[in-house]
Chain A
Amino acid sequence: MTRQPVHFYQVGSFAVGNRLLDADDRTVQSNRDRTNSIDSGHRACQGCGEALGARYALDAAMRATNGQVVAVNATGCLEVFSTPYPETSWRIPWLHSLFGNAPAVATGVAAALRVKGKHDVRVVAQAGDGGTVDIGFGALSGMFERNDDVLFICYDNEGYMNTGVQRSAATPPAARTATTDAVGPEPGNVFGTGKDLPRIAMAHDIPYVATATVADLHDLERKVERAMEIRGARYLHVLVPCPLGWGSASNDTIHIARLAKESGLFPVFEAENGKVTSVSPIRRRVPVEEYLSIQRRYGHLFGKSPRPDIVARIQEMANDNIARYGLVDEDVEAKEITD
Chain B
Amino acid sequence: MDTPFAITLGVGTSRANHTGSWRVERPVYVDRLPPCNNACPAGENIQGWLYEAESGNYEAAWRKLVEENPLPSIMGRVCFHPCETACNRVQVDEAVGINAVERFLGDLAIEKGWQLPDPGPDTSKRILVVGAGPAGLSATYHLRLLGHQVRLVDSAERLGGMMRYGIPAYRLPRAILDAEIDRVIAMGVDVALNHVVHDIEEERSAGGFDAVFLAVGAQLGKRVNIPAGDSSKIVDAVSFLHQVAHDDPPLLGRRVVVYGGGDTAFDAARTARRLGATDAVIVYRRNRERMGASGEEFEQALGEGVTVRWLSTVNKFEGDHIVLEKMQLNDEGFPESTGEFEELDADSLVLALGQDTDLSLLDHAQDVTVEDGAVSVETSMMAGASGIFAGGDAVPADRTATVAVGHGKRAAHGIDDYVMGRAPDVKQRHELATFERLNTWYYADAPRTKRPELEKIRRQTNFEEVVGGLTEDNALFEARRCLSCGNCFECDNCFGVCPDNAVIKLGTGERYEFDYDFCKGCGICVKECPCGAIEMVPERI
Chain A residues proximal to chain B, CB less than 8 Å: 5-12, 14-20, 26-27, 29-30, 32, 36, 38-44, 46-49, 51-52, 55, 82, 85-89, 217, 243, 249-255, 258, 284
Partner of B495, one of A17, A19, A88, A251: A17
Stretch at the interface among B188-196, B299-307, B376-384, B474-482: B474-482
Smallest CB separation, A86 vs chain B (Å): 4
- Residues of chain A lying within 8 A (CB to CB) of residue B396: none
Across the two chains, which residue of chain A brings its CB closest to B15?
A41
- Residues of chain B lying within 8 A (CB to CB) of residue A46: 22, 520-522
- Residues of chain A lying within 8 A (CB to CB) of residue B484: 10
Partner of A43, one of B17, B490, B496, B501: B17
Give complex CA distance A195, B490 in Å: 41
Give complex CA distance A11, B500 in Å: 24
Q: Does B203 contact A (CB under 8 A)?
A: no
Across the two chains, which residue of chain B brings its CB closest to A12?
B444
Cβ of B480 and Cβ of A86 under 8 Å apart? no
Smallest CB separation, A242 vs chain B (Å): 12
- Residues of chain B lying within 8 A (CB to CB) of residue A32: 505, 507
Across the two chains, which residue of chain A brings its CB closest to B519?
A40
Of the candidates B443, B507, B528, the one having the most CB atoms from chain A within 10 angstroms of its own CB is B528
Smallest CB separation, A102 vs chain B (Å): 21
Cβ of A10 and Cβ of B480 under 8 Å apart? yes
- Residues of chain A lying within 8 A (CB to CB) of residue B457: none
Leading 7 A-B pairs by shortest Cβ distance = A17-B492, A16-B496, A251-B523, A12-B444, A47-B522, A41-B14, A86-B9
Give complex CA distance A55, B493 in Å: 15
Knowing A86-B9, A251-B527, the reply to whether A29 touches B492 (Cβ < 8 A) is yes
Across the two chains, which residue of chain B brings its CB closest to A243?
B522
Across the two chains, which residue of chain A brings its CB closest to B496?
A16
- Residues of chain A lying within 8 A (CB to CB) of residue B489: 10, 19
Cβ of A16 and Cβ of B492 under 8 Å apart? yes
Give complex CA distance A267, B446 in Å: 26
Partner of A217, one of B496, B500, B527: B496
Knowing A19-B55, A29-B495, A251-B527, the reply to whether A89 touches B13 (Cβ < 8 A) is yes
Knowing A8-B480, A40-B501, A40-B515, the reply to whether A18 touches B491 (Cβ < 8 A) is yes
- Residues of chain B lying within 8 A (CB to CB) of residue A253: 499, 522, 524
Give complex CA distance A39, B16 in Å: 11
Partner of B17, one of A41, A217, A254: A41
- Residues of chain B lying within 8 A (CB to CB) of residue A55: 499, 501
- Would you mind naming 15 contact pairs between A and B with Cβ atoms under 8 Å apart? A8-B477, A10-B484, A11-B530, A17-B491, A18-B492, A29-B495, A41-B14, A43-B14, A43-B17, A44-B499, A46-B521, A52-B497, A87-B12, A243-B522, A250-B522
Give complex CA distance A87, B416 in Å: 63
Q: Does B11 contact A (CB under 8 A)?
A: yes
Give complex CA distance A217, B494 in Å: 13
Cβ of B482 and Cβ of A41 under 8 Å apart? no
Q: Does B508 contact A (CB under 8 A)?
A: yes
Across the two chains, which residue of chain A brings its CB closest to B12?
A87
Partner of A8, one of B441, B446, B499, B507: B446
Give complex CA distance A301, B449 in Å: 46
Cβ of A9 and Cβ of B522 under 8 Å apart? no
Cβ of B444 and Cβ of A11 under 8 Å apart? yes
Give complex CA distance A325, B491 in Å: 31
Q: Mark B314-353, 1 if CB is under 8 A from A, else 0.
A: 0000000000000000000000000000000000000000
Give complex CA distance A103, B505 in Å: 36
Give complex CA distance A130, B440 in Å: 35
Across the two chains, which residue of chain A brings its CB closest to B50?
A10
Cβ of B14 and Cβ of A17 under 8 Å apart? no
Smallest CB separation, A300 vs chain B (Å): 26
Give complex CA distance A138, B158 in Å: 90
Give complex CA distance A39, B499 in Å: 9
Q: In chain B between 76 and 90, which residues have their CB closer than 8 angstroms to a CB of chain A?
A: none
Partner of B444, one of A8, A27, A258: A8
Cβ of A87 and Cβ of B502 under 8 Å apart? no
Cβ of B490 and Cβ of A19 under 8 Å apart? yes
- Residues of chain B lying within 8 A (CB to CB) of residue A254: 497, 524, 527-528
- Residues of chain B lying within 8 A (CB to CB) of residue A17: 490-493, 495-496
Q: Mark B514-537, 1 if CB is under 8 A from A, else 0.
A: 010110111110111010000000
Partner of A10, one of B10, B444, B492, B508: B444
- Residues of chain A lying within 8 A (CB to CB) of residue B7: 86
Across the two chains, which residue of chain A brings its CB closest to B509?
A19
Give complex CA distance A284, B92 in Å: 12
- Residues of chain A lying within 8 A (CB to CB) of residue B499: 44, 47-49, 51-52, 55, 253
- Residues of chain A lying within 8 A (CB to CB) of residue B223: none
Cβ of A39 and Cβ of B491 under 8 Å apart? no
Q: Does B430 contact A (CB under 8 A)?
A: no
- Residues of chain B lying within 8 A (CB to CB) of residue A9: 444, 480
Knowing A40-B15, A40-B501, the reply to whether A10 touches B482 (Cβ < 8 A) is yes
Of the candidates A49, A250, A284, the one having the most CB atoms from chain B within 10 angstroms of its own CB is A250
Give complex CA distance A51, B524 in Å: 13
Q: In chain B between 249 and 284, which residues have their CB closer than 8 angstroms to a CB of chain A?
A: none
